[in-house]
Homo-oligomer: A and B are copies of this chain.
Amino acid sequence: MSITIQEVARRAGVSTATVSRVLNQSDKVLPETRERVLSVVNQLRYTPNTNSRSLRTRESRIILVILPNLSNPFYSEILAGMDACTRDSGYRLLVTAHGASAGRERELLGLLHQRQADGVVLMSPTLPAAELSAINAQFPVVQCCEYIEDIGVSYVSVDNYTAFYEATAYLIRAGHRQIAMSSSANNYPSTRLREQGFKKAHADAGLPLDPQRIRQGSYSFESGYENMQVFLKHKQRPSAVMGISDVVAAGCISAIMNAGLSVPGDLSVMGFDNLDMAKMIQPTLSTVMQPRRRLGRAAVELVLERLQGCQEARELLLPHELIIRHSTR
Asked if B49 and A115 make an inter-chain contact with CB atoms under 8 angstroms apart, the answer reads yes
Decide: A221 near B76, CB < 8 A? Known: A50-B114, A50-B115, A115-B50.
no
Interface string of A100-141 (1 = CB under 8 A from B): 000000000010011110000000000000000000000000
Partner of A92 from the list B47, B77, B94, B279 (CB cut-off 8 Å) is: B94
Nearest B residue to A246 by beta-carbon distance?
B280
> CA of A280 to CA of B73 in the docked complex: distance in angstroms?
14
A281 lies within 8 A of B279 (CB): no
CA distance A284 to B251 in the complex (A): 12
Contact between B55 and A113, CB atoms less than 8 A apart:
no
The minimal Cβ–Cβ distance linking A276 to chain B, given in whole angstroms, is 7
Indicate if the CB atoms of B55 and A52 lie closer than 8 Å. yes
> Once bound together, how far apart are the Cα atoms of A75 and B72, in whole Å?
10
Complex CA distance for A12 and B208, rounded to whole angstroms: 70
Any chain B CB within 8 A of the CB of A24? no
Contact check, A69 vs B73: say whether CB atoms are below 8 A apart.
Answer: no
Are B60 and A69 within 8 A (Cβ)?
Answer: no
Q: Mark A71-103, 1 if CB is under 8 A from B, else 0.
A: 111011101100100000000111111000000
Establish whether residues B96 and A280, one from each chain, have CB atoms under 8 Å apart when the complex forms. Answer: no
Q: How many copies does the complex hold?
A: 2
List the B residue with the shortest CB-CB distance to A72: B76
Interface size on A, residues (CB 8 A): 46
Q: Establish whether residues B250 and A50, one from each chain, have CB atoms under 8 Å apart when the complex forms.
A: no
The 8 closest A-B pairs by CB, nearest first: A73-B73, A71-B80, A70-B80, A250-B280, A51-B55, A51-B54, A70-B79, A51-B51
A-side interface residues toward B, CB under 8 Å?
2, 47, 49-52, 54-55, 60, 69-73, 75-77, 79-80, 83, 92-97, 110, 113-116, 221, 247, 250-251, 253-254, 257, 276-277, 279-282, 284, 293
Given contacts A2-B114, A50-B116, A221-B279, could you give 18 more A-B pairs where the C-beta distance is less than 8 Å? A47-B110, A49-B115, A51-B51, A51-B55, A52-B55, A70-B76, A73-B76, A76-B76, A79-B95, A83-B95, A83-B96, A83-B97, A95-B95, A250-B280, A277-B280, A280-B281, A281-B281, A282-B282
Chosen A-B contacts, 17 in total, with CB atoms closer than 8 Å, are: A2-B113, A2-B114, A2-B115, A49-B114, A50-B116, A51-B55, A70-B80, A71-B76, A73-B73, A73-B76, A92-B94, A92-B96, A93-B94, A93-B95, A250-B281, A257-B282, A281-B281
